[in-house]
Chains A and B, each alone.
Chain A
Amino acid sequence: MTPLEQYGLLAAFVLSTIGLVAMLRLIARSLGGVRKEPGKDVPFSGGELAPKPVWVRYHVHYYGFALLFLAFDMEMAFMYPWAVVYQELGLEALADMAVFLGILFLGLLYGWSQGALRRQ
């Protein structure tokens, strides 16, 4: 298979997933509808209506981790091609990546020392 055909097949997988879900929904619909009852469609919030839109305040207290995550995630993009040619290049490749990872790891240690790895 050419790469284009492979991606076509993967797209077909997505389409058949959608088809499967649509089929399940149709079966469910054929078995009966939803009876209208007051308050049935309110999202659960402990017995009373939410006073305002629920998304107004949520403290994303893992923002420190998220910043570190961005740095490491970028680094992983470089590591895949490096991993493939690693055995050809040998010690040189190890040294290259050790410098790169070393600097990044120092960043992690610095963040740790400054309390970035704690619940904010």
Chain B
Amino acid sequence: MTSPSYVLLFALGLYVVAVLEGWASTGRLRLARPLRAGVALLGRETVTPRRPDRVLYETAPVLLLAAGLLAAAVLPLDRGAVSVDLATGVLFVNSALAYVMVGLVMAGWAPGGAYSLVAGWRFLGQLVAYSMLIVMPITAVAMRAQSLSTTAAVSSQVHLWNLAAQPLGFALFFLAAMAVCFLPPFDLPVSSDLAGGVAGEYTGARLAVVRLARVALVLTLSLAVVVFFLGGWLGPVLPGWVWTFVKTIAVAATMLVVGRLVPRLREEQVLAWGWKYGIPLALVNILWVGLTLLGVR
């Protein structure tokens, strides 16, 4: 695989996730929906609010998109096929995803609307709830890989996927990943009870960027789940990148569909459950991985 093909594969992934998102929310599988929606949004008026915080208002969608793309850049698609093989890749994924919160709070604050501002603060609370559940399972993955490189995280799963080695970590990371991409039931920042929340004051081309950023986040987080827990490119017969692609799309479809079966969670519920059950369980997971690794030696 060559570098341009990474970009093409990621673009194809974006398209498939956008189709799946439409399918999950409307119940109909329409292949042209992302393109039609994109053209329609670009053709609409791009209204600017009356007194926006101009710098934050223009930066927020770009930051949101950049956060998702940067995190994806350090995740491997195949053996030796990774855009940027950082020695501290795992840590970089974390730091890139932290900017999702920054982008959403900026987008909530900037237009000067009460509803979007409340939505922004709510997402800050959601970050306090999910952040540890992103970081701690990844630490357990790094313990097994003995490295912070994302490729090492995959090659450590040759004999046993992390899904089987640390199922608790997988479950927590999966839920936290849904909270990062503010998918239902964690869709507080864009919820309809706040008239669209953060996305409510964005129109036209800016809204197109926000939507694209959300799709990119879903794809990136699914890829992260696959790399850290589902053995990345590992699989029989087919080439590695096909396995990565198939697994990533399967995870994305699950994330998009599963959350719609439960009612939306309030921010305080996410916070209380995250800290009362999530973090103790994440610590148990680290202890479990530590003990099994000692047993292996």
Chain A contacts to B: CB under 8 angstroms = 1, 3, 6, 9-10, 13-14, 17-18, 20-21, 24-25, 27-29, 31-35, 40-45, 50, 53-55, 58, 60-62, 65-66, 68-69, 72-73, 76, 79-80, 83-88, 90-91, 94, 97-98, 101, 105, 108, 112, 117-119
Contact indicator per residue, chain B 56-76, by CB within 8 Å of chain A (1) or not (0) = 000001100110011001000
B contact residues around A53 at 8 Å (CB): 112
User: If A10-B84, A41-B50, A42-B49 touch, does A86 touch B113 (CB 8 Å cutoff)?
Assistant: no
Q: Is the CB of A21 within 8 A of B61?
A: yes
Q: Is the CB of A14 within 8 A of B66?
A: yes
For B141, the closest partner residue in chain A by CB is A83
The range of chain B's interface size is: 35 or more
User: If A21-B61, A28-B46 touch, does A84 touch B128 (CB 8 Å cutoff)?
Assistant: no
Since A6-B85, A43-B111 are in contact, a sample of 7 more A-B pairs with Cβ atoms closer than 8 Å, ordered by chain A residue number, is A50-B113, A83-B140, A83-B142, A84-B142, A94-B291, A94-B294, A101-B286
Task: State how many angstroms separate the Cβ of B186 from the closest Cβ of chain A.
Answer: 15
A contact residues around B115 at 8 Å (CB): 43-45
Chain B contacts to A: CB under 8 angstroms = 42-43, 45-50, 61-62, 65-66, 69-70, 73, 83-87, 90-91, 109, 111-118, 121, 124-125, 128-129, 131-132, 135-136, 139-140, 142-143, 146-148, 195-196, 200-201, 204-206, 208-209, 267-268, 271-272, 275-276, 279-280, 283, 286-287, 290-291, 293-294, 297
Q: Is the CB of A34 within 8 A of B45?
A: yes
User: If A40-B47, A90-B297, A94-B294 touch, does A54 touch B117 (CB 8 Å cutoff)?
Assistant: yes
Q: Is the CB of B50 within 8 A of A43?
A: yes
User: If A43-B116, A66-B128 touch, does A94 touch B48 (CB 8 Å cutoff)?
Assistant: no
User: If A34-B45, A76-B136, A87-B297 touch, does A10 touch B73 (CB 8 Å cutoff)?
Assistant: yes
Complex CA distance for A29 and B61, rounded to whole angstroms: 17
User: If A21-B61, A87-B297 touch, does A6 touch B84 (CB 8 Å cutoff)?
Assistant: yes
User: If A21-B61, A43-B50, A86-B146 touch, does A62 touch B271 (CB 8 Å cutoff)?
Assistant: yes
Task: State how many angstroms separate the Cβ of B271 from the closest Cβ of chain A.
Answer: 5
B contact residues around A84 at 8 Å (CB): 142, 146-148
Complex CA distance for A27 and B38, rounded to whole angstroms: 11
